[in-house]
Every structure is written in structure tokens, then in C-alpha cells.
Structure 1
Amino acid sequence: MSQTHTQSSPAVSLSGSAVSCGDLSPLQAVIFDWAGTLVDFGSLAPTQIFVEAFQAFGIEVTLAQARGPMGLSKWQHIHQLLEEPVIRAQWQDRFNREPTSADIDAVYERFMPMQIAKVGEYSEPIVGAAETLQWLRSQGIKIGSCSGYPRVVLDRLLPQAAEAGIAPDHVVAGDELEAGGRPGPYMALANVLALAIGDVRSCVKVDDTVPGIEEGRRAGMWSIGLSLSGNEVGYSLQELADAPVDEVDRRMAQAEHKLKAAGAHAVIRSVAELPGVLRELARHMRNGATPDTPAR
């Protein structure tokens, strides 16, 4: 794609253009999502597996439906799919009853081995991700991460990602906090504790999903959304190469709208554009901007 597709918060006026290294003070940490953010362009790994897991129960779920709750923990994701009227009606017709928590458990137990087996196939870094992490470290910025993936899935993903240069300082899985996951602030705040960050307002949450943006805002952080690389646009690299430009623009506009409506201070195409946004954000912060009171 030759066109540049960026959209930023009018209040913060972040451009997202690529720039050289510079002073990021007073930023202290960036906390990343995984699929659709650092690895797995298009967030493909979870989507097809949800479809296949439900098919095992005789329930047809479309890829668009499967993407709907993305960003939640996988158990909660399945719960939300079973709340979707069309899917719920299928369940009622097939089993002559409403879905229960035990049914969510059953779908989850079907989903998990399939996800563990497949996640390694989708561990390729998004273009620019490894370079962005390297740049952040050169600036003295701590790197956290969290995911809707449970720990057993991340344990399969992390070694392969690390070999490709994606190795955050801390990782929180979607199933390991008693308080829960997204859209609550808990995983983001667990990173704050682990990384010994002194002020949540000096942190940036980077995510391609609505629950992930909400997580960052509820944690009191700056939140930056990713459109083209993530779940909301949902293209594989090959699909992106084959797609008409106007169709790509339409999907990106929809993604940007949803992410900004969730509270994103800026929306960029991918993590490769993050350095420019962070330099500009740091400049606004030095002029007194905070996540709740962006620059005038």
C-alpha cells in the first residue's frame, strides 16, 4: 500500500510520522498487546480457532463474529460470543436450552488445545516491531505487555517471538490475575507494579482492540490504537496486498472510529509508526499534558 493512513486525536494532535530517536522524557514505559500489535499481522491466530471450536459443537460462527469480542480473555470471549443473538439462537436450537457456564467451559476446553497448537504459526513479528522495541530500550523506556491469551498459549508463543527480537521486559497473561482481564485495568497495572513505574500517567498502552484501549484508559494511561495491523481491519498480509485501496480505506476508517470512540488518544497504522507518536506525545507531556487533559 502506497498511501499513508493515519488518524490522531484532535486534542493531542499526534501525527504518527516516522522520525529519528529523540528525548522521550517524561515517558517511562510502553505496554503492548501481542496479536495484531507486536506479532500476527491481522490478529489471525485466535479468529479461525474460535470458528473451528464452535463448529465442533455444530455452531456456525463467522470470522466477523469471532473478531467481535477480541481483546478479552479467551473464556470471556467465548462467553460474549454465546451472548450474541444469532449464535445463542443456534445453541438453543441445537441443545434445546440456553448456554451455561459449563458450556462455555466445554467450548474453551475445545478451543485451548487448538490455540496452543496453532499460535506458533502466527508468531512472526509485525514489520517494525522488533526495531521499535530496540529503539525504546535505547531511549531508556521500559517495555511491558499483556494479552488475552492464557499463559499456556503465551508460553508457546514467547520463545519464538523472542528469537525474532520481540521480548518485552514483562508479560501478563489473560488468565493469571484474580481480578480479571480486559477491559479492566488490571493487566496494565500489573505491568506498572512489575516494572516499578512511578506514575501511570507516564505509561502508554498500545493495542489494536477496543477492550485493550479501554484497559489503558481505565489504568490512567495514554492509549494508542493500531488500525491496519490489527483485529479491527483483520487483513492478512496477502489479503492486504490484494485488496482495493478504497476497501482498505473504508476498513481503516471504521477501525479508527471504533478505537477513538473507546478512548484512544491517537490511532496509527502499526507499531512501526509508534516512535513518531511517542516523541510528539512526550513533547506535549513536557508542556503539561496528561491522559485526562491532553494538550490544548
Structure 2
Amino acid sequence: MSSCEILPFTASLPDTVVFDLDGTLIDSAPDLTGALNATLATLGLAAIPEDEVRHMVGHGARKLIERGLEAHAVPKSATEVDALVEWFIRYYAGHVADRSVAFPGVAATLNWLRARGVRLGVCTNKPEALAKQVLIALELDGFFPARAILGGDSLPVKKPDGRHLIATVEALEGDLTRTLMVGDSSTDLRAARDAGVPVVLVSFGYTPVPAHELDPDAVIDHFADLTKVMPQVLDRHRARY
């Protein structure tokens, strides 16, 4: 039995929890690496190792392509990058869950939270359609209302702009003052800070800067530890504000 299943109910649980997707809920780096390298191969460029790609993820498909080009010191115009992004998205849509998996403890933790009435949403810079597609493929879509899965193309803004997170909470009809953000990178932390929401980072995500060095409200090494830190994170946040 996991720790998230035995923690007793507490009134300090959040009203709403919003999650990042890549590097937080799912390990999608293998498929993102495959799609990036397939895109770069159209230009005759060598493949980039997965360990390097993991540090390029988090700002959406366009930024991933731009970073892949930068790794090869190959400049491209905005129009050329647009075409590469379109090619990448078409390829990735056909391989969105070939090797991607949910991180250990994710399904059990989401189920625990949902059973206690916590509203759950996803705020990701991945295109919305692809986010929904991979959640369906990994059988995680049932935890989140479709209206509360907001991608990088769902709004005129995206993370680290806090309005992306706020819109996700609004889609859930949640209470922003009792919301928690869970992510893996500075992009998630900055969005949470901008929205005035406490943030927990996972230590196993795709950030080039270790989660502990980003100074979030808490860092967890296993997803099942999320329910352990929630009460104290919310209490500390309320005490500060």
C-alpha cells in the first residue's frame, strides 16, 4: 500500500491541484526525443541523446525545435522553424505514447485526491490536442475534465505567465486561494508565483536546474509523497499571505 493511500483525511487538503504534464505526470522524453530527432533528420542533422533532450523540454514544441537547432548551431528563419514545428507535431501525434509512461505513483495519487473531492487540472505548454491525446493513451484522462486540460495553445498566454494557471483553476471552478501547483521546472514555479499559488516540484523531471535549487515550497522524490507535503505547504502559504 502506498503512502498516498494511507494518509488520513485532513482539512488542509487543497481545493484544487493543477499539474504540469511532461516531466511531472508522465515521462514523455523518449517519444519527444524520437520526434525531435526525426525532425532534425529531415535536415540531415545528427540525433541528440535523450539525456540532453530532457533538459530542452518544457516551453512547447517550438522552443524544443529551436533548442535542437541551437545544439547543432544551425540557424533557421522563423518561417523555416514554423514548418519544422508543423512536421514535428504531425510526427509526434503518431508516436505520442510509443514509449511514454506515467511516473510511478501518479495514478494512485490522482485517485486518492479525486476520491476526497479535490479538483484536478493540467496546465502544460504542450499543444492541447497532444496533451489530451497522451493522457488518453496512458489512461489518465479520466482524472481531469477535458475543459481543465489547458495547453500552450489554449490561450494567448502560456507558462510561465500565471494567467495560464489561473485559467486552469477557473475552468475547474476552483478556489485560487486553496490551489496547489505541481510541476518540475522553473517554468512551473514562475507561473505559480505569478498566480500567487504555492508550488511543489518533483525532483525527477526535465529541469536543467535541480528542483531543490529553484526554491519551491516543497520538493518530492516520488509522486506518492505529494499527499504528505500538501498540508504543510498550504499552511505555510497561508501564514505568509
Same fold (TM over 0.5): yes
C-alpha offsets along residues 211-242 of structure 1, whole Å, 9 cap, x if unaligned?
Answer: 222222222111111113x224xxxxxxxxxx
Q: Distance in 2 between matches of 1:142 and 1:155?
A: 17
Residue 205 of structure 1: aligned partner: 181
Q: Distance in 1 between matches of 2:220 and 2:65?
A: 29
Query: Residues 217, 35 of structure 1: CA spacing in aligned structure 2 closer, same or farther, 3 A cutoff?
Result: same
Residue 269 of structure 1: aligned partner: 221
* DSSP-derived class of the 2:103 partner: coil
Q: 1:75 pairs with 62, 65, 70, which one?
A: 62
* DSSP-derived class of the 1:148 partner: coil
Residue 122 of structure 2: aligned partner: 145
Residue 216 of structure 1: aligned partner: 192
Q: Distance in 2 between matches of 1:210 and 1:81?
A: 20
1:81–1:87: 8 Å Cα contact kept in structure 2? Answer: yes
* DSSP-derived class of the 2:188 partner: helix
How many Å apart are 1:80 and its aligned residue? 4.1
Residue 112 of structure 1: aligned partner: 89
Residue 172 of structure 1: aligned partner: 150
How many Å apart are 1:283 and its aligned residue? 4.1
Query: Residues 156, 26 of structure 1: CA spacing in aligned structure 2 closer, same or farther, 3 A cutoff?
Result: closer
How many Å apart are 1:24 and its aligned residue? 4.0
How many Å apart are 1:48 and its aligned residue? 3.0
How many Å apart are 1:166 and its aligned residue? 5.3
How many Å apart are 1:158 and its aligned residue? 2.8
Query: Residues 123, 261 of structure 1: CA spacing in aligned structure 2 closer, same or farther, 3 A cutoff?
Result: same
Q: Distance in 2 between matches of 1:52 and 1:168?
A: 31
Q: Distance in 2 between matches of 1:184 and 1:20?
A: 33
Gaps of 5+ in 1: 1-16, 92-97, 233-254
Query: What is the one-letter code of the residue matched to 1:174?
Result: G
Q: Percent identity?
A: 24
How many Å apart are 1:165 and its aligned residue? 7.0
Residue 24 of structure 2: aligned partner: 37
Residue 42 of structure 2: aligned partner: 56
How many Å apart are 1:107 and its aligned residue? 1.5
2:36–2:68: 8 Å Cα contact kept in structure 1? Answer: no
How many Å apart are 1:69 and its aligned residue? 3.2
Q: Distance in 2 between matches of 1:270 and 1:165?
A: 21
Q: Which has the larger radius of gyration?
A: 1
What's the TM-score, normalizing by structure 2? 0.84
* DSSP-derived class of the 1:60 partner: coil
C-alpha offsets along residues 55-100 of structure 1, whole Å, 9 cap, x if unaligned?
Answer: 2212335234433331112123323444x3x433xx2xxxxxx421
Residue 289 of structure 1: aligned partner: 239
Q: Distance in 1 between matches of 2:149 and 2:56?
A: 21
Farther-moved stretch of structure 1 (118-127 vs 68-77): 118-127
How many Å apart are 1:152 and its aligned residue? 2.8
Residue 201 of structure 2: aligned partner: 225
Query: What is the one-letter code of the residue matched to 1:289?
Result: A
2:26–2:102: 8 Å Cα contact kept in structure 1? Answer: yes
How many Å apart are 1:190 and its aligned residue? 1.2
Query: What is the one-letter code of the residue matched to 1:258?
Result: P
Query: Residues 158, 48 of structure 1: CA spacing in aligned structure 2 closer, same or farther, 3 A cutoff?
Result: same
Query: Residues 157, 208 of structure 1: CA spacing in aligned structure 2 closer, same or farther, 3 A cutoff?
Result: same
C-alpha offsets along residues 170-198 of structure 1, whole Å, 9 cap, x if unaligned?
Answer: 2111212112x222223211112112233
Q: Distance in 1 between matches of 2:172 and 2:97?
A: 27
Query: What is the one-letter code of the residue matched to 1:87?
Result: H
How many Å apart are 1:101 and its aligned residue? 0.6
Query: Residues 182, 195 of structure 1: CA spacing in aligned structure 2 closer, same or farther, 3 A cutoff?
Result: same
Query: What is the one-letter code of the residue matched to 2:20?
Result: D
Query: Residues 165, 53 of structure 1: CA spacing in aligned structure 2 closer, same or farther, 3 A cutoff?
Result: closer
Q: Distance in 1 between matches of 2:232 and 2:99?
A: 32
1:186–1:219: 8 Å Cα contact kept in structure 2? Answer: yes
Query: What is the one-letter code of the residue matched to 1:36?
Result: G
1:75–1:108: 8 Å Cα contact kept in structure 2? Answer: yes
Query: What is the one-letter code of the residue matched to 1:266?
Result: A
